[in-house]
Structure 1
Amino acid sequence: MNKIVKFFTLLTLCCPIVACGDYLDTSTPENADDGFVTSTASETFKILSWCYANYRQNCVMGVYRWNDPIGSDAEYYPEVASLNNANARLQPELLSIGTANSAFNGYYTIVARLNKLLEIIGTKEEYIQAKEAGEVNEWTQLYGEALSMKAFCYFELVKHYGDVPYGYENTTASEYSLNSRFDILDKVIEMFGEAAPLMYRLGEGGITAERMSRGFAEAMAGMAALYSGGWQTVRTDVQGLYGDVQLETKGVDEYSSIYARRTDYLDYYRTAETYFDQAMADKGTATLVTTDERGYANNPFQRHFQYQHDLQLSPESIFEIGNMQGGQSGQTTSSEYPYAFGRASNGASQMGAPCKVFGAVRIMPTFYYGEFEDGDMRRDITAAVTGSNGDGNEAILRFAPGNKLDGGMTTNKWDPNRMNPPYVADQRQSGMNWPIMRLADLMLMRAEVKAVLGNDVAARSDLNDVRRRAFGDTNHDIQSSGDQLLADILQERKLEFAGEGQRRWDLIRNGLFVEKAVEVRAEMSQMVADLQSKGYHEFANGNQIPMYIWVKSVHRDNPLTYDADPTDPALYPGWRGQYDYSTTDAASAVKGTDHNLAIEGLFEYIDPESERAKQLEADGYVKTDWGKGIVDNADHYCNSNLLPGVKAGNVPPRYYFPIPFEVLSHSNGKVTNGYGLAQE
């Protein structure tokens, strides 16, 4: 586990590390011996290891981490007046032109090295013989892996930048031009399709989920086809950019861009279906985690995430980017989980109990309270109502804008308290991998395309397999069809992947982003109005969010809690509490002995003037702001921080990052930024 980054300093292939200003200028100086660095498969893998590490450190670790999992009708960013999430708020015009330089540069640097690597491997006799014989060996795996990573980089470029230059790597180009995203995605599908049969399935040839495999390549080919066929915001200011591709549009043109979908989208959905079917057939050892063997807990959904906390590969993972706990000597190797996306902590940056957790992803209260059915084991894993003081004690989260304990409910899928033991030496160095794809994602993407194509029986099969894990039975199976089935699948993806960076893309490609943005603002506004007038808001499922709750610090012999027990206010909701930090190197930071919080009134309104409220206070409970924090900051939660870039129901969602200035300036006017993005 987490071995890939150990090769970060060992790369010697004759490909450049591109300086920040060079971007697409990726010519290859002859400064090393190609034969030496590819003399063995293990030497060659060091080059791929560098590419994995560079992707993690300079691409995904850039601004994407603050935007992909944020900015939907389920998730939001907690701070006020921060540009970290301007893209997630659909206000990319606020970004400086250099906002995403490192990621853009990183992708092209990786592709340049991969092109050279593919050229060298392609001449090796061991590769040629195996390919001609239709066999898979370590050299075909390396070739397929390199080709898959190249395709993956271009997929990510299109996803985050739109139309970009293509095919200039390792050439001396005096100027660049834009290429159509649709042409690039066709190439991406082709590359993944070519790579897949050259690669091992998970579990074969020593391949784990920390490396790209046959099933992942096929899943990504399907995803590229799904995105190519889906709704997206396209440019209207570059004549002829999309060639012969015919587009249907919705809404109005804004910032010379419009929401559109290619008219032959069903052809791409059929391609996606084919590849998703192949990916399921070639998933190897990947399997949905449907049982929990732990004895002290019974939540298979959480069990998947616990593998990450234990620095193990989950059986459900198809691909993860490897990390090393504590980083690597002499290198900058951050490990953001759970710092960026986890259960919040006010702890110190070092030797905290636990260390600081910023908590960039916050869960929408309308989603938490109103959309989970009774018995859904995902709710308490998806969202946390408490965090950590950083001194070994549990603390209620606050809806005052901010970070750490402020900002509202965090995700609960990653929590330093769940590590055994928690890594207390430093924040951002937990060692948890960066998850890219798990089997449930593949299954529900396949269900989505099958529903669109009218194969309701197969779509329901994948959908209900995931639901049965969430509920532990077949009583919640869905029997819908047609448009309602597609809606049910997208809702299931919302419930399954909240905080994991999927929801905003699901809405965008299904043409639903704008209407869902308007809808959630209306829901939040109604909730605030009810809180103000009645002291609570009641959701359709009967849950009530109140202005106030009552909390009390209590002692538990095991302060880290697991499954919920509605009869015990310290165990409801479940999956919270604290690790026993008195057993760690951060023991000196721990205060007191009553580390857990008992909570009353979280899902039901308690009149502050009632006898029940008075009795709770007599028993040591403290009346505490809850919904009141939302009311006090209503503009933040209903307007200025809630997808303000969607001002009306007919504008295109704008979610791209600016192409760097160096590329624009070297293109002699052939490359410009669209969508209202900065040009200089």
Structure 2
Amino acid sequence: MYISALALSLSFVQCSDYLDTSSPENADGGFVTSSTTETFKVLSWCYAEYRQNCIMGAYRWNDPIGSDSETYPESGSLNNSNARLQPEQLSIGAGNSGFNGLYTIIARTSELLSLLDTKQAFIDAREKGQVNDWTHLYGEALTMKAFCYFELVKHYGDVPYGYENTAATDYELNSRFDIYDNVISMLKEAAPLMYKLGEGSITAERFSRGFAEALCGMAALYSAGWQTVRTDVPGLYGDVQLETKGKEEYKSIYARRTDYLDYYKIAEYYLDEAVKNRGTATLVTVDDRGYANNPFQRHFQYAHDLQISPESIFEVGNIQGGQSGQTTSSEYPYAFGRPSNGGSNQAAPCKSFAALRVIPTFYYGEFEEGDKRRDASVTVTGSNGDGNEAMLRFTPGNKLDGGIAINKWDENRMNPPYTTSQRMSGINWPVLRLADLLLMQAEVKAELGKDGEALAIVNDIRRRAFGDDSHAISASGEALKEAIMQERKLELLGEGTRRWDLIRSGKFVERALAVRAEMTEMVNDLQTKGYHEFSNGNVISNYIWVKKVHLDSPLTYDADKSNPALYPGWRGQFDYRTTDVADKVVGTDNNLAIKGLFEYIDPNGAEAKALEADGYTKTDWGATIVKYADHYCNSNLLPGVAAGNVPPRYYWPMPFEVLSKSKGKITNGYGLAQE
């Protein structure tokens, strides 16, 4: 938000639908509220602005790539400075797009709300307690405004509040705690005015009552949680009392409000309401495909089929290929999907940069046997771009380099894959699904001592993950809280939640140090023994053995341990011979059989010799991690907490113009750039 955004006057937008990002046209307020269709065009522009300009350019604020399970693949890049907890390396303009875009949306929704406040059809319905298209639009606009302020506080800390559509010549920082209170208040007002999912033609590509209530619960949860706060602005937090842990650094400290349990109670109420008012949203517990039995993966397959999953509460919509002049960018599978070395267009499949990688100790050591989430969430292979499956490599880099990767988004799983151009596949960008909401609900209940209710929710999620009741957990107190956080880690890997869970729970620093120690222990074993065994029995070795093979159905599904081309599961390639890039496919043996991925094979032993005689090739695996040990254990793994018990620093800098025109009242804290 430049200072002009603080003073922004609304220029209303007319567009064909909410995916249109064409230049807005001016229209007066009477025309904008002349019909619900015209009013929604303003909100449609806001959804598009959020998608195109507020987030993905920063890899979703680095949220999915800076935790004890998720990392970034390149070495020496500044693209993950925030994820490494080294935001002082960011230029002052690094977060400008998101900052300005969010305030622009706030300005437009604020003006729209002022117009709807005088709309008689809305006034009449609200007074009668009715929910109709007018009340929903009002609630949707108010939710959008609250959502943008929530995002601003989450990613920038304390920011200016309440200056929209005014000529702001004298402004200052506002306390995050006050802003969270205002967000909660807005959402309390908005939710009863809104349709549930499935009512009034509302799908998960728009805000619904359930989402508004979920966001209200989240705002309370974030206000209650541990967070890094400033110590260089006297009186900023007013009467809010804080407890702290660790030591102060860069004039900031890790803290939590002392009345946090009051906010957990607010969170519990609104998360309960969100579950109750979720409408048509339901947990996918049955795989209806016949050829597969993985309800967890079924949720993600809906996105590949360009459908909205019944589990989704909100996802940002996309249009494949930019039809009819649209210019949407399907960034999610490119930035966070299964890697591909394909070219930018007409490839099999096209390039996937894959900025999100999985820390090896998590992949090997934390999934239990039988957990259907492992193979559907993590992949050890990617795509060459010529119709062939390829092993991922631990050499720092991107695409096929950079280590094991997320498997939740893979353009091979489209039918057919979009091969015309990268970043244009039409796959939606997920924001909130029911499993996330349920596990937040379990979290707050455990914090409030309602262990039985919390356990029932967690075990519902585990029943889906394992397909039976034999993996239910039983715990109480702190052990239960830790189990819920672990379940969120397993369930929501790569979805941008883990680093925030660690921050809110006060565990970020200790888990950062722990995962570096775990990786160091693993590397030491690889160096001295050639392998490392995890407590669950899995083994990572310096070498694996790989062979190209032919499968009649090269896109694989559930794992089959008897066939090394089908284990791990959920990999392979789409059969690109059936597409318009058939001429790009090389060879007929397009799949990989892998041996030694989870058990040690002596490279000088009889088994290795037999495999090589059978056409398998000895391939570097853990040996490459050893070669780049500093990258995997130190320099790229949360080095911002290397000094010890210091506050995690994860905020983005506010733009220079906001600082320079504030008459000295606003600075960037936390050691961030000032100019």
Which band: TM-score by shorter chain?
over 0.9
Query: 1:409 maps to what in 2?
Result: 404
Whether the 8 Å contact between 2:254 and 2:648 is mirrored in structure 1 is yes
Query: 2:592 maps to what in 1?
Result: 597
Query: 2:507 maps to what in 1?
Result: 512
Which residue identity lines up with residue 525 of structure 2 in the other structure? D
Query: 1:521 maps to what in 2?
Result: 516
Give 1:38 deviation, angstroms: 1.8
Query: 2:384 maps to what in 1?
Result: 389
Q: How do 1:185-204 residues align onto structure 2 when only pairs under 5 Å count?
A: 185-204=180-199
Asked whether 1:354 is paired with 2:349, we answer yes
Q: How do 1:124-523 residues align onto structure 2 when only pairs under 5 Å count?
A: 124-327=119-322, 330=325, 332-523=327-518
Give 1:23 deviation, angstroms: 3.2
Give 1:125 deviation, angstroms: 1.2
Task: Give the distance between the partners of 1:582 and 1:170, measured in 2 at CA.
Answer: 56
Query: 2:9 maps to what in 1?
Result: 27
Task: Give the distance between the partners of 1:523 and 1:287, measured in 2 at CA.
Answer: 37
Give 1:65 deviation, angstroms: 2.1
Whether the 8 Å contact between 1:383 and 1:412 is mirrored in structure 2 is yes
Match of 1:636 among 617, 624, 631: 631
Output one character per residue of 1:604-626: Cα deviation in whole Å (capped at 9) or x when no partner: 01000001000000000000000
Whether the 8 Å contact between 1:59 and 1:102 is mirrored in structure 2 is yes
Query: 1:554 maps to what in 2?
Result: 549
Output one character per residue of 1:472-505: Cα deviation in whole Å (capped at 9) or x when no partner: 1110111101110000000000000111100000
Task: Give the distance between the partners of 1:175 and 1:546, measured in 2 at CA.
Answer: 61
Which residue identity lines up with residue 155 of structure 1 in the other structure? F
Query: 2:68 maps to what in 1?
Result: 73
Task: Give the distance between the partners of 1:292 and 1:445, measured in 2 at CA.
Answer: 25
Whether the 8 Å contact between 1:66 and 1:360 is mirrored in structure 2 is no
Task: Give the distance between the partners of 2:566 and 2:644, measured in 1 at CA.
Answer: 42
After TM superposition, the structure 1 stretch with the greater mean CA deviation from structure 2, 81-90 or 36-45, is 36-45
Which residue identity lines up with residue 53 of structure 1 in the other structure? A
Asked whether 1:104 is paired with 2:96, we answer no
Task: Give the distance between the partners of 2:8 and 2:464, measured in 1 at CA.
Answer: 47
Cα 1:47–1:550 change in 2 (3 A) is same
Task: Give the distance between the partners of 2:466 and 2:186, measured in 1 at CA.
Answer: 39
Give 1:32 deviation, angstroms: 2.7
Output one character per residue of 1:8-67: Cα deviation in whole Å (capped at 9) or x when no partner: xxxxxxxxxx9x673323134795321112211011111101000000111122314260
Asked whether 1:116 is paired with 2:76, we answer no
Output one character per residue of 1:324-370: Cα deviation in whole Å (capped at 9) or x when no partner: 11125555421112110000000010011000000000001100000
Query: 1:12 maps to what in 2?
Result: none
Q: Report SS of the residue matched to 1:617.
A: helix
Query: 1:615 maps to what in 2?
Result: 610
Output one character per residue of 1:105-142: Cα deviation in whole Å (capped at 9) or x when no partner: 00000010001111111111111111111110000000
Which residue identity lines up with residue 568 of structure 1 in the other structure? N
Task: Give the distance between the partners of 1:670 and 1:446, measured in 2 at CA.
Answer: 39
Give 1:648 deviation, angstroms: 3.3
Q: Report SS of the residue matched to 1:349.
A: coil
Give 1:175 deviation, angstroms: 2.6
Give 1:97 deviation, angstroms: 0.1
Q: Report SS of the residue matched to 1:494.
A: helix
Task: Give the distance between the partners of 1:64 and 1:391, measured in 2 at CA.
Answer: 27
| Residue ranges of structure 2 left out of the alignment (5+ in a row) | 13-25
Q: How do 1:10-25 residues align onto structure 2 when only pairs under 5 Å count?
A: 22-25=4-7
Whether the 8 Å contact between 1:337 and 1:430 is mirrored in structure 2 is no
Q: Report SS of the residue matched to 1:62.
A: helix
Whether the 8 Å contact between 1:66 and 1:84 is mirrored in structure 2 is no
Give 1:149 deviation, angstroms: 0.4
Cα 1:29–1:561 change in 2 (3 A) is closer
Q: Report SS of the residue matched to 1:22.
A: helix
Give 1:438 deviation, angstroms: 0.2
Task: Give the distance between the partners of 2:214 and 2:27, measured in 1 at CA.
Answer: 35
Whether the 8 Å contact between 1:551 and 1:600 is mirrored in structure 2 is yes
Q: Report SS of the residue matched to 1:234.
A: strand
Whether the 8 Å contact between 2:6 and 2:166 is mirrored in structure 1 is no
Whether the 8 Å contact between 1:99 and 1:657 is mirrored in structure 2 is yes
Whether the 8 Å contact between 2:523 and 2:629 is mirrored in structure 1 is yes
Whether the 8 Å contact between 2:74 and 2:396 is mirrored in structure 1 is yes
Q: Report SS of the residue matched to 2:268.
A: helix
Task: Give the distance between the partners of 2:212 and 2:544, measured in 1 at CA.
Answer: 49
Whether the 8 Å contact between 1:221 and 1:272 is mirrored in structure 2 is yes
Moved over 6 A (4+): none
Query: 1:11 maps to what in 2?
Result: none
Cα 1:669–1:628 change in 2 (3 A) is same
| Residue ranges of structure 1 left out of the alignment (5+ in a row) | 1-17
Which residue identity lines up with residue 345 of structure 2 in the other structure? Q
Q: Report SS of the residue matched to 1:356.
A: coil
Task: Give the distance between the partners of 1:337 and 1:675, measured in 2 at CA.
Answer: 29
Give 1:286 deviation, angstroms: 0.4
Whether the 8 Å contact between 1:325 and 1:432 is mirrored in structure 2 is yes
Q: Report SS of the residue matched to 1:237.
A: coil
Query: 1:50 maps to what in 2?
Result: 45
Query: 1:10 maps to what in 2?
Result: none
Output one character per residue of 1:535-572: Cα deviation in whole Å (capped at 9) or x when no partner: 00000001000000000000010100000000000000
Which residue identity lines up with residue 669 of structure 1 in the other structure? G
After TM superposition, the structure 1 stretch with the greater mean CA deviation from structure 2, 667-676 or 28-37, is 28-37
Which residue identity lines up with residue 305 of structure 1 in the other structure? F
Whether the 8 Å contact between 1:360 and 1:403 is mirrored in structure 2 is yes
Query: 1:575 maps to what in 2?
Result: 570
Task: Give the distance between the partners of 1:371 and 1:243, measured in 2 at CA.
Answer: 43
Whether the 8 Å contact between 2:6 and 2:167 is mirrored in structure 1 is no
Whether the 8 Å contact between 1:66 and 1:85 is mirrored in structure 2 is no
Which residue identity lines up with residue 354 of structure 2 in the other structure? G
After TM superposition, the structure 1 stretch with the greater mean CA deviation from structure 2, 323-332 or 597-606, is 323-332
Output one character per residue of 1:419-478: Cα deviation in whole Å (capped at 9) or x when no partner: 010000000011011111000000000000000000001101111110100001110111
Query: 1:665 maps to what in 2?
Result: 660
Task: Give the distance between the partners of 2:101 and 2:142, measured in 1 at CA.
Answer: 16
Q: Scaled by the length of structure 2, what TM-score is found?
A: 0.97
Q: Report SS of the residue matched to 2:523.
A: helix
Which residue identity lines up with residue 237 of structure 2 in the other structure? Y
Give 1:81 deviation, angstroms: 0.7
Query: 1:8 maps to what in 2?
Result: none
Task: Give the distance between the partners of 1:29 and 1:323, measured in 2 at CA.
Answer: 24
Give 1:645 deviation, angstroms: 0.2
